[in-house]
A and B are shown apart, each in its own frame.
Chain A
Amino acid sequence: MSFVLRRLASAVPTLFIVVTISFFLMRFAPGGPFNLERPLPPQTMANLMRTYQLDQPLWRQYVTYIGNAVTGDFGPSYVYKDNTVAELIGKGLPYSMELGFYALLLALIGGVLMGTVAALRQNSALDFSVMSLATIGTTVPNFVVGPVLTLVFAISLSLLPAGGWGDGSLRFLILPMIALALPQLAVFARLTRGSMIEALHADHIRTARAYGLPGRVVVVTHAMRGALLPVVSYLAPCAAALLTGSAVVETIFTIPGVGRYFVLGAINRDYTLVMGTVILIAIFVIVFNLVVDILYGLLDPRVRHD
């Protein structure tokens, strides 16, 4: 327990530094949210600046921002003028998280199964096909996978909807889920295969075989558990990335998640929106790192804490 608290405590400065870096990086970028193609009249501009407190010195803006952020107030969006950043994120996040969760399950289960099978049949045709698929997964960008899936399954075969959230039923989720999961599935498959091959060569696997344990037991109880450790480590960045939405997939499949805000915010210099998403992602990364550390401790007694 105290381990969890210690880790949480050390996460606070990390988060703080992330926020600080992002804040100043954003502000030093040339151009502001109201620099449109046709310049606004100076009076309007000044009013806008005052409304959003952009006329204040930078350090005061920073202090105000931090102060508000601690209470969960990330300010109003500059571009989506009727919404606060918290509202935008609150609206979009459930969609992104649901989609991301399914994609994570698909990537994890599919990748681990494929990697294990490939490792057990090392250098066979099966191994080769699994690894080819994994290579395709890592090399074909999902903005190619997305349109191709749409073309085949939605337009040519008319099996599934081409995009949108619809009623949120699985039919709408399948294509974006595949597009989102494929690269991560490939990573999991590669990781699992590699660590499984290594695990199968370990001395204690030889011991298990020397004691006449059936092959299934050797693989599942002895090799697999050790082989999953690197997979678990990768789970943290992967889960954080999938659950916070993908700009590409959400754009292609017109999903109302938070992934798009990030890019839109940056392009529009929507400072508060970008800051909000940065904090969101950083929190996800930190939380999942913590979860994975705990999980790791459960799996590996050597690093068990306390």
Chain B
Amino acid sequence: MAETSDTILAIRGLKVDFTTPDGVVNAVKGIDLDVRAGETLAVVGESGSGKSQTMMGIMGLLARNGTVGGSAAYRGRELIGLPPSELNKIRGAKVTMIFQEPMTSLDPLYPIGRQIAEPIVHHRGGSYRDARKRVLDLLELVGIPEPERRIDSYPHELSGGQRQRVMIAMALANEPDILIADEPTTALDVTIQAQILSLLRMLQQRFGMAIVLITHDLGIVRHFADRVAVMRRGEVVEQGSTAAIFERPSSDYTKMLLAAEPRGHKAPPLDSAPIVLEGRDVSVDYQIGGGLFSGGHRMFRAVDRVTVRLREGQTIGIVGESGSGKSTLGRALLRLIPGAGYYRFGSTDISGFDRARMRPLRREMQLVFQDPYGSLSPRQTVGEIVTEGLFVHEPSLSKAERDRRAVAALTEVGLDPEARNRYPHEFSGGQRQRIAIARAMILKPHLVILDEPTSALDRSVQGQVIELLRRLQDSHRLSYIFISHDLSVVKAMSDYVVVMKDGRIVEEGETAAIFESPREAYTTSLINAAFNV
């Protein structure tokens, strides 16, 4: 690779290995990368591509069982193999990092001001008192309101976005040459994501540092990076200018990633289609705090008088940020949690139904969860998991018949039926989500509530799961309620969109109408943030 004069970090033949009980895992297999002064380099890859481990290796932050080899030279100075005391002169001063989890990346036991001051004091000397002025300036700079008051706050007293701003302030404290941002926005809501990214861009223009953005999200990259390196399985598949990568991707993998952005749209059902599920004025209250003797509990209204009507064959997308009440609404509609309001399933009024009376109806209405790791019991075989519904609703089924149904269900979701003798931990995230879908589909339900079914998956896998869900909908005339914070997926999946905020519906309407001409400012900000307009 041609090393230009403005290259400040030259990575050559970098390897990262992990020693595990099952042998050595080569996480990074000898990659070359250059970071030039003042540029933004995006390192893109799915989970397991080695994109984070590359940077961790350079920064000397690998886990105990990790080793790093090859070369990484910062302004001609070799970083690999440097003793920690020498490396400490560079990291935190010349090269700094921000991480994905702003919640856990800050020490919960110290005020943020002190944590920002720490690298200043250690790299520049002086006392914490001297550093205070600079910390206040930094907090101001990263847009923390009332820095004088916030400087003594603890991380748990700040929101996720604010914490990430604090991390950025800490990263800027010593005016670094390179800022490594490891998935800086992944854990944040879309609107916050956009704010953080524009903050980073503003700061880059002001201080001229290079940014290495590690991300799985191609959407961010297009508008933010100068150059892109695509990584897969520990190797750099392709690198070049952002424009070139997006317009003329050369590797199949990059093409696949680009194509994996959810596409397509769904036609609304006929007006004559019968209503499958209706919830009118649905409200859900949670009790917070309050013990046996202490009393004084407060009620928190998670869902506030929401009305939803789902027709046969329809997909309603429910969109909102964390805490908007969208998941709670989904569970309330299935009568899994108590809620006020009027509920109707088909022509049956189910408002007053208790758990026992709901039970026979359960086979008609199913739920698929976000976390494919948590939603499958680790101690059951896939076969047992998938047939669990039959065990409840068709207990008279013979063993052979149950097995036959399991084979059919697994085949339908695109899994090898052999899977039914294995355990969930042997499968990848996408495969597990297919298992969870098979568990719902084996009962031949009329309606499925999909609670962030693709959010925990890589983009390329997301696309496959969406395709599967569409196919199932067509072949079984299913109705979906699709709950997601990811507007691009909702746009592709649903024909009707409900935007929620703080437990209320902000706006609703046909998908096309909502996305093309949103009426509410909140909807607009969500759409702008999601599509990086």
A: residues with CB less than 8 A from B are: 6, 10, 122, 202-204, 206-215, 217, 221-222, 225-226, 299-302
Contacts and interface: CB of A to CB of B under 8 A. Distances in A.
Interface in B223-237: none
A214 B154 CA distance: 23
A300 B156 CA distance: 11
B60 A209 contact: yes
Contacts of B64: 122
Contacts of B110: 221-222
29 contacts: A6-B294, A203-B101, A203-B105, A204-B104, A206-B99, A206-B105, A207-B99, A207-B105, A207-B107, A207-B170, A209-B60, A209-B91, A210-B61, A210-B96, A212-B119, A212-B122, A212-B123, A213-B88, A213-B92, A213-B118, A213-B122, A214-B85, A214-B122, A226-B108, A226-B109, A299-B109, A301-B108, A301-B109, A302-B156
Given A301-B111, A302-B156, 18 more contacts: A203-B99, A203-B101, A204-B107, A204-B108, A207-B99, A207-B107, A208-B107, A210-B91, A210-B92, A210-B96, A211-B91, A212-B91, A212-B122, A217-B118, A300-B108, A300-B109, A301-B108, A302-B108
Contacts of A202: 104
Contacts of B167: 207
Contacts of A225: 109
Interface string B378-419: 000000000000000000000000000000000000000000
B93 interface: yes
Contacts of A215: 84
Nearest to A300: B109
Among B60, B101, B122, B123, max chain A CB count under 10 A is at: B122
A301 B105 contact: no
Contacts of A211: 91-92, 96-97, 118-119, 122, 170
A213 to B, nearest CB: 6
A213 B105 CA distance: 15
A188 B122 CA distance: 32
Contacts of A209: 60-61, 91
B89 interface: yes
B293 interface: yes
B289 to A, nearest CB: 13
Contacts of B119: 211-213
A206 B91 CA distance: 12
Among A6, A203, A206, A211, max chain B CB count under 10 A is at: A211
Nearest to A302: B156
B59 interface: yes
B500 interface: no
B336 to A, nearest CB: 31
Q: What bracket does the count of chain B residues touching chain A fall in?
A: 35 or more
A214 B87 CA distance: 10
B10 interface: no
A222 to B, nearest CB: 5
Among B60, B88, B104, B107, max chain A CB count under 10 A is at: B107
B68 interface: no
Contacts of B59: 210
Contacts of B111: 301
B37 interface: no
B157 to A, nearest CB: 8
A217 B104 CA distance: 19
A207 to B, nearest CB: 5
Nearest to A200: B64
Contacts of B91: 209-212
B106 interface: yes
Of all A-B residue pairs in the complex, the 9 with the closest CB atoms, nearest first, are A212-B92, A211-B92, A203-B104, A212-B88, A204-B107, A301-B154, A211-B119, A212-B91, A210-B97
Nearest to A226: B109
A222 B107 contact: yes
Contacts of A204: 104-108
Contacts of B87: 212
Contacts of B104: 202-204
Interface string B64-107: 10000000000000000000110111111100110101001111
Contacts of B294: 6
Nearest to B93: A212
A301 B156 contact: yes
A233 B109 CA distance: 16
A211 B60 CA distance: 11
Nearest to A215: B84
Among A122, A204, A301, max chain B CB count under 10 A is at: A204
Among A207, A209, A222, max chain B CB count under 10 A is at: A207
Contacts of A206: 61, 99, 105
A301 to B, nearest CB: 4
A159 to B, nearest CB: 44
Given A204-B105, A204-B108, A210-B92, A10 B293 contact: yes
Contacts of A301: 108-109, 111, 154, 156
B122 A217 contact: yes
A243 to B, nearest CB: 28
A8 B488 CA distance: 55
Contacts of B109: 225-226, 299-301
A208 B60 CA distance: 12
Nearest to A9: B293
A144 to B, nearest CB: 38
A209 B96 CA distance: 10
Contacts of A300: 108-109
Contacts of B106: 204, 207
A215 B60 CA distance: 13
Contacts of B107: 204, 207-208, 222, 226
A122 B89 CA distance: 27
A9 B11 CA distance: 64
Interface string B109-150: 111000000110011000000000000000000000000000
B188 to A, nearest CB: 16
A39 to B, nearest CB: 48
Contacts of A221: 110
Contacts of B118: 208, 211, 213, 217
A206 B156 CA distance: 18
Nearest to A211: B92
B99 A212 contact: no
A225 to B, nearest CB: 5
B290 to A, nearest CB: 14
Contacts of A6: 294
